[in-house]
Amino acid sequence: MTAISVSHLGKSFGKVTAVDDLSFDVPSGAITAFLGPNGAGKTTTLRMILGLVTPTAGSATVHGLPYRRLDRPLQRVGAILEATAFHPGLTAGNHLEAVRVAAGLDASRVGHVLRQVELEAVQGRRIGGFSLGMRQRLALATALLGAPPVLVLDEPANGLDPDGIRWLRGFLRAYALDGNSVLVSTHILAEIEQIADHVVIISGGRLRWSGGLESGAGLEDLYLEATR
Ligand SMILES: Nc1ncnc2c1ncn2[C@@H]1O[C@H](COP(=O)(O)OP(=O)(O)O)[C@@H](O)[C@H]1O
Ligand SMILES: [Mg+2]
């Protein structure tokens, strides 16, 4: 089963080719690490998967459909993109409730996602006073509101301290063990090495390597070889 399929995807910004004839599949029920150096084209690819950037070539589908054609998209795919903006005056609970109502989701979902990301204790506090790590957890809670079977995360460990990174790893592993699918980008191998089942490595907008990762296989060697 394939959760996300990227087929001959390309994107140019003027003379800059950000993504070039890129094809890969994200298997269901697994964690796929999306790796590459800064500027490799990871964010542009994820934004095309989420229908936020229009490709200049090729296509990307989630469970067989382009994102923009998904019925109830928040219940199909949850996403964390770089630099998620929140209204600083809202409390975490207010924010989640507003998204829940707009998406027509069940009232029980807010409490559920607050427990999932362990933010219940601060749900009444204003987001303006949140640390970067708390904001990342709130972004994850927002992504989980629709109980989606697929998560797309762009550098989700940015701003997390070592405890936060460990917590996120444990969360993603449990989420995938429940049969859900994760595509997570990072340029820091250590963040993902212990939990990735599958790896896609890009550089200069092009695919360099993709495949399953045997536990214990040296991701660093693979990465250095692929991006050389
Ligand atoms: N909106 C944009 N306009 C112009 N160039 C862009 C834009 N977005 C990304 N790029 C360029 O595309 C390339 C890939 O960027 P990006 O997808 O952000 O890479 P990554 O997430 O792997 O660091 C870079 O050269 C970047 O400067
Ligand atoms: Mg990026």
Residue to substitute in 19, 38, 43 for testing ligand 1 pocket (most ligand atoms within 8 angstroms of CB): 43
Give the tens place of pLDDT for each residue, 140-162.
999 999 999 999 999 998 878 88
Q: Residue whose CA is closest, atom 13 of ligand 1?
A: 18
Alpha-carbon distance of 214 to 145, in angstroms, equals 32
Q: Residue whose CA is closest, atom 10 of ligand 1?
A: 18
Neighbours of ion ligand 2 (CB under 5 A): 42-43
pTM for the model: 0.95
User: What ligand is nearest to the CA atom of residue 34?
Assistant: 1
Alpha-carbon distance of 80 to 50, in angstroms, equals 10
Q: Residue whose CA is closest, atom 27 of ligand 1?
A: 39
Give the tens place of pLDDT for each residue, 5-61.
999 999 999 999 999 999 999 999 999 999 999 999 999 999 999 999 999 999 999
Flag the least confident range among 95-104, 113-122, 159-168. Answer: 159-168
Ligand 1: lining residues by beta carbon, under 6 Å: 13, 16, 18, 36, 38-44
What are the DSSP calls for 201-225, one per residue? EEETTEEEEEEE--TT--HHHHHHH
pLDDT (mean) for 103-108:
96
Q: Name residue, tokens 């070539």.
A: 57
Q: Listing from the earlier edge strand, what are the strands of the sheet with 2-13?
A: 16-27, 2-13, 57-62
pLDDT at 38: 92
pLDDT at 190: 81
pLDDT at 49: 98
pLDDT at 192: 86
- CA of 44 from ligand 1 middle (Å) equals 6
The CATH number corresponding to 2-76+148-227 among 3.40.50.720, 3.20.170.30, 2.40.50.180, 3.40.50.300 equals: 3.40.50.300
Per-residue pLDDT band at 216 (split at 50, 70, 90):
low
User: What ligand is nearest to the CA atom of residue 203?
Assistant: 1
Q: pLDDT higher for 187 or 209?
A: 209
Helix (H, G, I), strand (E, B) or coil at 136: helix
- CA of 7 from ligand 1 middle (Å) equals 19
Domain chopping of the chain, boundaries: 2-76+148-227, 85-147
pLDDT at 76: 96
User: What ligand is nearest to the CA atom of residue 206?
Assistant: 1
Q: Which atom of ligand 1 is nearest to the CA of 19?
A: 14
pLDDT at 94: 96
